[in-house]
Chains A and B, each alone.
Chain A
Amino acid sequence: MNEEKVGVYVCHCGTNIAKVVDVVDVATWAGEQPNVEVAREYKFMCSSLGQELIEQDIKEKGLTRVVVASCSPHMHEKTFRGACERAGLNPFLFEMANIREHDSWITDDKVAATQKAKSLTNAAIARVVHHQPLEPIPVEINPNTLIVGGGIAGITAALELADAGNHVYLVEREPSIGGHMAQLDKTFPTLDCSACILTPKMVDVGQHANITLLTWSEVEELDGYLGNFTATVRKKARYVNEEVCTGCGICIEKCPAKVLDEVFEVGMGTRKVIYRPFPQAVPKYPVIDKENCIYFLRGKCKACELFCPTEPNSIDFTQKDEILKLQVGNIILATGYDLFDVKRIPQYGYGRLKNVFTSLEFERMVNASGPTDGKIVLRDGKTPPASVAIVHCVGSRDENYHKYCSKICCMYSLKFAHLVHERIPDAEVYNCYIDMRTPGKGYEEFYHRLLEEGTNFIRGKVAEITDAPRIPAEEGKLVVQVEDTLIGRQRRVPVDMVILSPAMEAKPDSKEVSQLFKMGCDFDGFFTERHPKLDPVATMTEGIYIAGACQGPKDVPESVVQGAAAAARVAGLINRGTVMMEPVRANIDQDKCSGCRICNNMCPYNAIVFHEDRHVSEVITALCQGCGTCVAACPSGIITGAHFTNDQVFSEIEGILWDVRPEKVLA
């Protein structure tokens, strides 16, 4: 029989537990169980008096193990571990039985609840005697930070950290930072010029001594763990030497080849083959689009090289992709979002009906530096529409596409209505919405402003958009067919232009990115935060944070808040220098490993390495996150998962089944 002395403490939690569970009975009964030295019940175990009770018993009665039967360990495990530690007992020699959330709160049956409380308490007692003292693992934090994504969230995070004196690597896939915000004309509800507020921040990033800006680059691999990540970054060849280029733009002017700009201008305009996505781009160096470059295609041209005024010449057709290895302590992902492909809803006619636009196309159109110099015109490039319908919830709030609400569309659809009123005062504007969602400072007021401006609001989800007229008034028009649910009648609204407000959706490669960074991603492809309420920028993987729309639909202010929040979390870790990590880790007995290699591809963190020379596998403790998958897989039973060993769980099973298990006797 085990020599351990266990103290058991059953909590009333006021009446939360005691109302349903007979706590006195549970404590008395627990006192009779093997190894139990003392069993008590108390009103509030988590109170300072309750904790003192434990400390006192450890000191006076020489307890070697402690069990508290109270609430969820997610609530107070830390509290009671602290009490044990203060009394000189290793905190891992403690176990908690959850008789509140899992018991007293889920049933009114007092008998069953008391029985279950005994089971859970007994399981903890049976388990705790097998516990071993464990020490937290100290990890040093590399003060450099990697930020992936140069939209407004990434820019904010980078500036926050860099201003606080920390070095940041900002990696952006496109040739310039700025993200979607750089494409917008105005921001709601204040109607600030998007470029005017964003550009200074982009410039700050470009010039900051603490920021290494890596645009036209992508993270390809990630190794390591909190405090010590190694990121492999591919810096794609720009064919422009950044060391000498002054960004004068003569090469762009002289380049003879033009292509449709599918990225920044969303197909609404063209760009040169050597290009900057937009005039305020940061960095200012252009990039050669190799796929369309006449020189790369046919072996001659080199107009850009010919006209480049720098000495030596900035154009370098021989440039190769560079592979960089970055050593960082923390990572912030701010990879942003994409727009829903509206062609997936054929009844809205996008692609077939030429005057159906997407929101981003309209943004570019109304932008003064956009393809139409800010004029709102039909696809012919000249006719201003006399009537415009704006369709909300395209792909949002729809189980056939995305079930969630994209949150920003109501507001930007209102902004569009305003811009149409502003630029074409006589135009009729229809906003077709399911519900008007305008929570936010100044947002509802903006809605009222639009009501006053005379926008026609139709409450109803648009059923279809057609060019087939039924009556003469519809001829030559786009007809928006919708039920006006406020009057309960189907309406056919003839208009010249339709703007679709598509859902915000996760980047198409978000699943791969989440695997690359070894963290979670939800069904819709948005990255999963550690806790939706209380820990919205951390992820389940320590040292990796998320900010902005890669976590879910968000507008600019929210993205900024998240960028700053993630930066604050990282700065906190950098300040501490060293963090202690939970010692719940796996370990392979090197003498007993047969080298069968079953466990080798179990680990999502690549924490298991195989030593070819000794034919054994080993767990790299710092990489291990303690899930125990390898422990369950090991056919030889020689991988132990600290704090969740087979012994401990087997004892817990026996303990939890105390009332139904067969007698432990030999025949």
Chain B
Amino acid sequence: MSENFEPVIVGFLCNWCSYRAADLAGTARLKYAPNMRPIRVMCSGRVDPQFVLKALRNGADGVMIAGCHPGECHYVSGNIKALRRFVLLKKMLRQLGVEEERVQLVWASASEGIILAEKVDKMTAEVRALGPLNWNKTVLGGNGHPVVKAEPVAEEV
């Protein structure tokens, strides 16, 4: 199975730069790995670390966060906040045994379709080399944990 392993990467792309870069890559008919599945957010600063964890927990082999270059954020500095969170998240994920290549932060401006495509290709190759993550099976050992916990309902008493 792992011979034909094709990683699934969830991409969080900011609306103004990297989503447009991905649009541009498409418009320019650049061919790159189809493994990255993009989710649009208004700004890389909207990417809550919970999103990354959620994606890893739900079967993604990697997560890419893409935003405008520092200094070029549509919202002035949202990407700097994204970077701050990413640096700390990376440190924590190291403790959780998630390889560095699996969660990446990249910068791509709206005109950098080629760069985004290259980064997706590179990350896909890196994650492919690492093999599947499959958190539920490999890490939780198929212990039959529920993905959706009986979510506590708020109740003030």
- Do A and B interact directly, with beta carbons closer than 8 Å? yes
Q: Which A residues contact B (CB, under 8 angstroms)? A: 72-75, 98, 100-103, 105-109, 112-113, 116, 119-120, 123, 511, 515, 518-523, 528, 532, 540, 584, 602, 604, 625-629, 631-633, 641, 644, 646, 649-650, 652-654, 656-657, 659-667
Q: Please, which residues of chain A bring their CB within 8 A of the CB of B39? A: 123, 649, 652-653, 656
The answer, among B29, B37, B48, B147, for a CB contact under 8 Å with A662, is B147
User: Bound state CA distance, A519 and B76, in angstroms?
Assistant: 6
- Does B54 sit within 8 A of A, measured CB to CB? yes
Chain A proximity of B102: nearest CB distance (Å): 14
Find out whether the CB atom of B41 lies under 8 angstroms from the CB atom of A649: yes
Find out whether the CB atom of B8 lies under 8 angstroms from the CB atom of A107: no
- Given A107-B31, A520-B74, A628-B42, A666–B37 Cβ distance below 8 Å? no
Interface membership of chain B positions 53-64, coded 1 if the CB is closer than 8 angstroms to chain A and 0 otherwise: 011001110000
User: Bound state CA distance, A649 and B32, in angstroms?
Assistant: 25
Find out whether the CB atom of A73 lies under 8 angstroms from the CB atom of B40: yes
Chain A proximity of B143: nearest CB distance (Å): 8
**Taking CB as reference atom, which chain A residue is nearest B26?**
A101
The answer, among B60, B71, B81, B85, for a CB contact under 8 Å with A523, is B71
Find out whether the CB atom of B23 lies under 8 angstroms from the CB atom of A107: no
- Given A103-B34, A116-B37, A661-B147, A650–B54 Cβ distance below 8 Å? yes
- Does B103 sit within 8 A of A, measured CB to CB? no
Q: Which B residues contact A (CB, under 8 angstroms)? A: 6, 8, 10, 16, 19-20, 22-23, 25-27, 29-35, 37-43, 45-51, 54-55, 58-60, 69, 71-78, 81, 85, 111, 117, 134, 136-137, 143-148, 150
Find out whether the CB atom of B48 lies under 8 angstroms from the CB atom of A646: yes
Find out whether the CB atom of B147 lies under 8 angstroms from the CB atom of A632: no
Chain A proximity of B131: nearest CB distance (Å): 14
Other contacts beyond A518-B76, A522-B72, A584-B42: 20, CB < 8 A: A72-B19, A98-B38, A100-B26, A105-B26, A106-B117, A107-B32, A107-B33, A112-B35, A113-B34, A520-B74, A523-B72, A626-B42, A627-B42, A629-B46, A631-B48, A649-B41, A653-B39, A663-B147, A667-B143, A667-B145
The answer, among A515, A629, A631, A657, for a CB contact under 8 Å with B59, is A657
Q: Please, which residues of chain A bring their CB within 8 A of the CB of B8? A: 657, 659-660
User: Bound state CA distance, A98 and B27, in angstroms?
Assistant: 12
Find out whether the CB atom of A628 lies under 8 angstroms from the CB atom of B41: yes
The answer, among B19, B34, B77, for a CB contact under 8 Å with A107, is B34
The answer, among B27, B71, B146, B150, for a CB contact under 8 Å with A105, is B27
Find out whether the CB atom of B75 lies under 8 angstroms from the CB atom of A653: no
The answer, among B22, B42, B78, B111, for a CB contact under 8 Å with A604, is B78
- Given A627-B42, A656-B10, A657-B58, A528–B51 Cβ distance below 8 Å? no
Find out whether the CB atom of B34 lies under 8 angstroms from the CB atom of A106: yes
User: Bound state CA distance, A646 and B46, in angstroms?
Assistant: 10
- Given A72-B23, A627-B45, A664-B148, A540–B31 Cβ distance below 8 Å? no
**Taking CB as reference atom, which chain B residue is nearest A104?**
B26
The answer, among A107, A521, A629, A649, for a CB contact under 8 Å with B45, is A629
Q: Please, which residues of chain B bring their CB within 8 A of the CB of A641? A: 42, 46
A-B contact pairs, 7 of them (CB 8 A): A106-B29, A106-B34, A627-B75, A631-B46, A633-B81, A657-B10, A660-B60
Find out whether the CB atom of B48 lies under 8 angstroms from the CB atom of A532: no
User: Bound state CA distance, A649 and B51, in angstroms?
Assistant: 8
Find out whether the CB atom of A664 lies under 8 angstroms from the CB atom of B147: yes
Kindly name the residue among B29, B39, B77 whose own CB sees the greatest number of chain A CB atoms within 10 A.
B39
Find out whether the CB atom of A627 lies under 8 angstroms from the CB atom of B78: yes
**Taking CB as reference atom, which chain A residue is nearest B79?**
A629
**Taking CB as reference atom, which chain B residue is nearest A633?**
B81
User: Bound state CA distance, A489 and B49, in angstroms?
Assistant: 60
- Given A520-B74, A666-B146, A653–B51 Cβ distance below 8 Å? yes
Q: Please, which residues of chain B bring their CB within 8 A of the CB of A628? A: 41-43, 45-46, 78
Chain B proximity of A376: nearest CB distance (Å): 42
The answer, among B26, B42, B43, B136, for a CB contact under 8 Å with A102, is B26
Kindly name the residue among B10, B34, B69, B150 whose own CB sees the greatest number of chain A CB atoms within 10 A.
B34
Q: Please, which residues of chain A bring their CB within 8 A of the CB of B49? A: 632
The answer, among A521, A631, A657, for a CB contact under 8 Å with B60, is A657
Q: Please, which residues of chain B bring their CB within 8 A of the CB of A653? A: 10, 39, 51, 54-55, 58
Chain B proximity of A94: nearest CB distance (Å): 14
Chain A proximity of B27: nearest CB distance (Å): 6
User: Bound state CA distance, A52 and B9, in angstroms?
Assistant: 36
User: Bound state CA distance, A666 and B150, in angstroms?
Assistant: 8
Q: Please, which residues of chain B bring their CB within 8 A of the CB of A631? A: 46, 48
Kindly name the residue among A112, A523, A649, A652 whose own CB sees the greatest number of chain B CB atoms within 10 A.
A649
- Given A522-B72, A657-B10, A663-B147, A632–B85 Cβ distance below 8 Å? yes
User: Bound state CA distance, A518 and B77, in angstroms?
Assistant: 10
Chain B proximity of A84: nearest CB distance (Å): 18
Q: Please, which residues of chain A bring their CB within 8 A of the CB of B48? A: 631-632, 646, 649
User: Bound state CA distance, A119 and B8, in angstroms?
Assistant: 11
Find out whether the CB atom of A101 lies under 8 angstroms from the CB atom of B23: yes
Find out whether the CB atom of A109 lies under 8 angstroms from the CB atom of B144: no
Chain B proximity of A135: nearest CB distance (Å): 18
User: Bound state CA distance, A98 and B150, in angstroms?
Assistant: 33
Find out whether the CB atom of A102 lies under 8 angstroms from the CB atom of B76: no
**Taking CB as reference atom, which chain B residue is nearest A74?**
B23
Find out whether the CB atom of A604 lies under 8 angstroms from the CB atom of B76: yes
Find out whether the CB atom of B78 lies under 8 angstroms from the CB atom of A629: yes
User: Bound state CA distance, A357 and B144, in angstroms?
Assistant: 79
Q: Please, which residues of chain B bring their CB within 8 A of the CB of A627? A: 42-43, 45-46, 74-75, 78
